[in-house]
Structure 1
Amino acid sequence: MPAVTTWNIDPAHSSLLFVARHMVVARVHGRFERITGTLKVDPEQPAQGEVEVSADTASIYTGSPERDTHLRSADFLDAENAPKLTFRSTKVEPTGGSGFRLLGELTIRNVSHPVVFEARHTATSRDPWGNTRLIYTARATISRSDYGIRWNKSLDNGGWLVGEKVDVELDIQAVPAPA
């Protein structure tokens, strides 16, 4: 019977993404270019276990250098004083099949709040070199003001430049940690 083992997130094949509303109707997509993390899981029961993910806030990328610089500033992520964004799971609740809720603490700008990711184990697979990979997706919606991110500008139509809600998505490939 397999036991709980430690798996490392493969940063070259994993992503931490976000989507925020811009000017009420448009959506801006971004990602953190540098992420790390571990999973502690029994490969025979991949919807159970623990996860820890960390991203360098200075590695934010949206395709606009000016916007990325602003997002790194104290108006948003304050990368100089809060260099890491982290998520640590505290509980897993199976929802049927390969789905589960991943409950934990999300820390942004050194402020932590509970968050629930709707998650799924999408596959256990072998890569072309024979290495086993666990593959997961997880999504949550957060309120940016919960983390002290309040910068905004009002629009002539009565809306706001940046939406309050931000969708966060993890796409994870994990490989066994070296023994």
Structure 2
Amino acid sequence: MSTTVTTQQIPAGTWTIDASHTEVGFVARHLMVSKVRGTFRDVSGTVEVAEDITQSKVDVVAQIASVETGSADRDGHLKSADFFDAETFPTMHFVSTSFDGETLTGDLTIKDVTKPVTFDVDFGGVGQDPWGNTKAGFEATTTVNRKDWGLTWNAAVEGGGVLVSDKITINIDVQLAKQA
């Protein structure tokens, strides 16, 4: 369930992603019987929180080569031309187009293909770390069809079905740091 975000809860200004406390992850069905999870370890970006929260802007970049799933072979395959083609398309980029306090909509670019996506947003709160820095936390989730971005590789499996699901759930757990 999304929690509505207001500027009474998060101060207006520039916030940057605290990469060491952020995870951009995904979940795919494997053989249609289990789930495989992965993350992009190298993520950066900013959030411009406006006085009118609906005018806030998000700009995030993930480095494709930083994908990790717990299997070096699978990671290599995901980086290959069969999937993300990290050598040709080194980044995945999200730029927001609207925010209503509960849902964040924007343009997600993968492999030079840009499509709109909408995330359900859950606000975790604002607090100060022991060094006096102001931090904020959010979770965001959406489900997309990977084929919309040209991620079409698959293999049929015995008994029907395919190796990798078309639907991918994207889960983001982000900590932001307020800039002075």
In the superposition, the TM-score normalised over structure 1's length comes to: 0.90
Q: 1:120 and 1:15, CA in 2 relative to 1: closer, same or farther beyond 3 A?
A: same
1:93 and 2:100 correspond: yes
Per-residue CA deviations over 1:119-162 (Å, capped at 9, x if unaligned) read 02111111122211011110010100000011000011110000
Per-residue CA deviations over 1:63-83 (Å, capped at 9, x if unaligned) read 100000000001101100110
Match of residue 29 from structure 1: 37
In structure 2, stretches of 5+ residues that fail to align are 1-6
Match of residue 4 from structure 2: none
Match of residue 9 from structure 1: 17
Match of residue 84 from structure 2: 77
For the 8 Å contact 1:46–1:121, the answer to whether it is kept is no
Please state how far the C-alpha of 1:45 moved relative to its aligned partner. Answer: 7.0
Please state how far the C-alpha of 1:4 moved relative to its aligned partner. Answer: 3.2
For the 8 Å contact 1:41–1:49, the answer to whether it is kept is yes
> For residues 15-164 of structure 1, what are the structure 2 equivalents within 5 Å?
15-42=23-50, 49-94=56-101, 100-164=102-166
2:172 to 146, 170, 173: 170
Match of residue 97 from structure 1: none
Q: Which runs of 4+ in 1 moved over 3 A?
A: 1-4, 44-48
Query: 3-state DSSP class of the match of 2:75?
Result: helix
Query: 3-state DSSP class of the match of 1:81?
Result: coil
The residue type equivalent to 1:33 in the other structure is R
The residue type equivalent to 2:19 in the other structure is P
Distance 1:45 1:170 in 2: 23
Please state how far the C-alpha of 1:35 moved relative to its aligned partner. Answer: 0.3
For the 8 Å contact 2:54–2:98, the answer to whether it is kept is no
Query: 3-state DSSP class of the match of 2:14?
Result: strand
Please state how far the C-alpha of 1:164 moved relative to its aligned partner. Answer: 0.3
In the superposition, the TM-score normalised over structure 2's length comes to: 0.90
For the 8 Å contact 1:19–1:166, the answer to whether it is kept is yes
Q: 1:66 and 1:17, CA in 2 relative to 1: closer, same or farther beyond 3 A?
A: same
The residue type equivalent to 1:27 in the other structure is K
The count of corresponding residues between Structure 1 and Structure 2 is: 172
- Percent identity between matched residues is 42
Distance 2:133 2:26 in 1: 29
Distance 2:47 2:54 in 1: 11
Query: 3-state DSSP class of the match of 1:67?
Result: helix
